[in-house]
Structure 1
Amino acid sequence: MMGNLTIEQFLTALASEAPTPGGGGAAALISAISAALNSMVFNLTVGKKVYESYPDEIKGLIKENLEASKKLIEFFTLYMDKDAEAFSQLMNSYKLPKENESEKNERKAAIENCTKEAAEVPMTVAENVYKLYPIIWTACKYGNRNLISDAGVAAVLVQASLESCILNVKVNLNYLKDIDLKDNMSKKCSDLIVKGEEWKNKIMKFIYENI
């Protein structure tokens, strides 16, 4: 599992001639790092003086967002492997026999299905990393002020991961035959990029005004 590799091992694998991990795995890792940074902000807020001054509603919000961040770390770590699996399956589909019409049709169907999966995996990562934005916003507003720059780094990493995922989606959409799916996923990509940039700008404006 990718998540069990040391940082050095992952970077060595990423830099090697091996096809995986690649850009999709790197994007999932960046997502996990963003969620981890956000968790750190919350963990260094709970129990502190500022935290104790908040009403129960805000305390509950902080704890809820901390748990959400932890779950997203696990989710993105899992998707580092899912991305590698999807790519491997896609490559294997191209190696299927095509000696007769039946085999050719089976191969085409396998390639189409595997291409869909290869596009859907980074799409899922993109949709879930986007969920970090309102969580980071909570960290900026109510988290330990000494760590507001860490929340900012988390936001920058979210957008980097989001755009990285979109690149991986789009490169696979080029090979899909399902026009409706292509159009639907392309629209999702465009919406996420725009909304993500809006969130990032909002968060960074708040941070620079309060840093």
Structure 2
Amino acid sequence: MTEWHGVKYWRNQSKDERTRLAEIPPSLEHSRLSNYTAVPNSVSKWLREFPEHREAGVGLLFAGKHGSGKSHLAVAALRGAIRSYRQTGRYITANDYVRALDDERQNDGVLPDSYAEGNLIPYLRSMYDVVVLDDVDAIRQTSYAKREFSDLLSSRCAKKLVTIVSCHDGIDKLKFNVTAQFHSLVRASCVPVVLTSGDHRRSIRGA
């Protein structure tokens, strides 16, 4: 049985350790607001005013085509919250979340040892202060996957935890690509940020 640690335990870790535990993928580890040209004002404002957004459970909803930098900005916002406001956080794609559910179900209700965090699923639902759910409209198109993913956001919203969501189709298409409930929840709990198709990421490393 994996030992459960509450939010106070994780917040007491160093900011470098909390950043490492967020499992930001290598392709996004250099994502900063400082190396994205023309950062939308709504994103900068959200991060400046993070304490009040954290209290209310208000996240961000990025929508844009592939290459628009939505994952870059989502990770930059996550990283800013972790390092500037002593938050706990985690990055995960929609399909990796569903894959974790499958692995748990096929392993007698326990995540296999290949997962660094055995409590990943309950932590995502009810412990991490800030979670990035990337590529939500790329989720497996089954009723099971859609329902479970919608339930994840519902659990986080009920606890007023911050969720940062990215999608590449229009926001309203989330009604069909996920569920109507997911669309309703994400519109109610996130600041929408629609990005243009141009790639605004600059090739700055370690900025």
Higher share of residues assigned helix: 1
What TM-score do the two structures reach when normalised by structure 2?
0.29
What TM-score does the superposition give when structure 1 sets the normalisation length? Answer: 0.29
Higher relative contact order (CA 8 A, sep 6+): 2
